[in-house]
Amino acid sequence: MTIFITGANGFLGQHLSLYLATKGFEVIASGRGDCKIPPKETFIYRPLELTNKLEVDEMLNAVKPAIIIHTAAMSKPDECDSNREQCLLNNVTASMYLIEAANAVGAKVIYVSTDFVFGEGGPHKEEDQPAPLNFYGESKLMAEQLVEASAKQYAIMRPVFIYGEVWEGIRPTFLHWVRNNLLQGRPIKVVSDQQRTPTYVMDLCKGIEAIINRNATGIFHLAGNEILSPYQMAIKVADVLSLDSNLIESVTAATFSEPVTRAKQSGLAIDKAKNELGYEPLSFEEGVRLTFGLY
């Protein structure tokens, strides 16, 4: 089965391209510019700018994938807020081009959305009413709505606060920022009044694999099992790596003047994915251990 992945130079896209290639799928990984994934001969890489409709049509016509996994997005809420036109172009218009091309070649679209489509009151279930608090969340919700209205075959998955292993050419995660500061003996302030259900990237890859293998359709929340604040996550990193947790100061979100609003009580409930996909994420501690190569 040929699987076409967008955003393959991004954090999830890199992990997913490598993971699915080891599972026997023919993976065509696409991203902006040159390939940033560590050299492997298990998949093919194709540069693709998703805001160019002609390029998207030509690429999908040539590849004719059975499945398209759309991870590409302008994914930083602050950037989306200050560059709204670019955000709409990359997150909504590009998704529309991709859906049209997918329909033309009979491909199923698996769209990677986010918990940011919701406001307060998490952990949210799939059927809860979306109410984004910032422009990034609005753009991702618009793309979800396009997928639901226009894609002939689709699944939508929503992860939360993704973390996992990093390598050269991949952006570090919050956990790496914590580790690096503690290693240098630098004190850090971390927010304790926001709740998330952090998602280990390999759990996410396995959840997507289950969506493919079971030909699942509809919306699935693929997150971790535990509700944690960034402060609690940072303390766990210190514990697992035997670093000095006294360097971590618990602060409220009001300490930082952030340009966009983020939910205090977010996170996603994963019962549907457990029941229908056999999704069983690792504990946060296990995810942290694997992130830092402690097996």
Ligand X SMILES: NC(=O)c1ccc[n+]([C@@H]2O[C@H](COP(=O)([O-])OP(=O)(O)OC[C@H]3O[C@@H](n4cnc5c(N)ncnc54)[C@H](OP(=O)(O)O)[C@@H]3O)[C@@H](O)[C@H]2O)c1
Binding site for ligand X (CB under 6 A): 7, 9-13, 31-32, 48-51, 71-75, 90, 94, 112, 114, 140, 159-162, 171
CA–CA dist 199, 188 (Å, integer) = 23
196 within 8 A of 227, measured Cβ to Cβ: yes
Residue among 112 and 248 whose Cβ is closer to ligand X:
112
CA–CA dist 73, 49 (Å, integer) = 11
CA–CA dist 19, 206 (Å, integer) = 9
Chain residue whose CB lies nearest ligand X: 10
Residue among 145 and 245 whose Cβ is closer to ligand X:
145
191 within 8 A of 40, measured Cβ to Cβ: no
In the complex, the smallest distance separating the C-beta of residue 169 from ligand X, rounded to whole angstroms, is 10
**The one-letter amino acid at 244:** D
Between strands 188-191 and 154-158, the pairing is unpaired
Residues linked to residue 188 through DSSP beta bridges, in sequence order: 248
Residue among 247 and 261 whose Cβ is closer to ligand X:
261
In the complex, the smallest distance separating the C-beta of residue 269 from ligand X, rounded to whole angstroms, is 15
* Upper half-sphere CA count for residue 221 (Cβ side, 13 Å): 26
In the complex, the smallest distance separating the C-beta of residue 82 from ligand X, rounded to whole angstroms, is 15
Residue among 31 and 230 whose Cβ is closer to ligand X:
31
In the complex, the smallest distance separating the C-beta of residue 16 from ligand X, rounded to whole angstroms, is 9
In the complex, the smallest distance separating the C-beta of residue 46 from ligand X, rounded to whole angstroms, is 11
Other CB atoms within a 10 A radius of the CB of residue 180 amount to 12
The token pair at 162 is 């993704």
The per-residue DSSP string of 89-103 comes to IIIIIHHHHHHHHHH
Cis peptide before 198 (omega within 30 of 0): no
In the complex, the smallest distance separating the C-beta of residue 147 from ligand X, rounded to whole angstroms, is 12
Residue among 196 and 245 whose Cβ is closer to ligand X:
196
279 within 8 A of 210, measured Cβ to Cβ: yes
Residue among 46 and 274 whose Cβ is closer to ligand X:
46
- The owner of tokens 């919306």 is 219
In the complex, the smallest distance separating the C-beta of residue 183 from ligand X, rounded to whole angstroms, is 23
Residue among 40 and 46 whose Cβ is closer to ligand X:
46
266 within 8 A of 194, measured Cβ to Cβ: yes
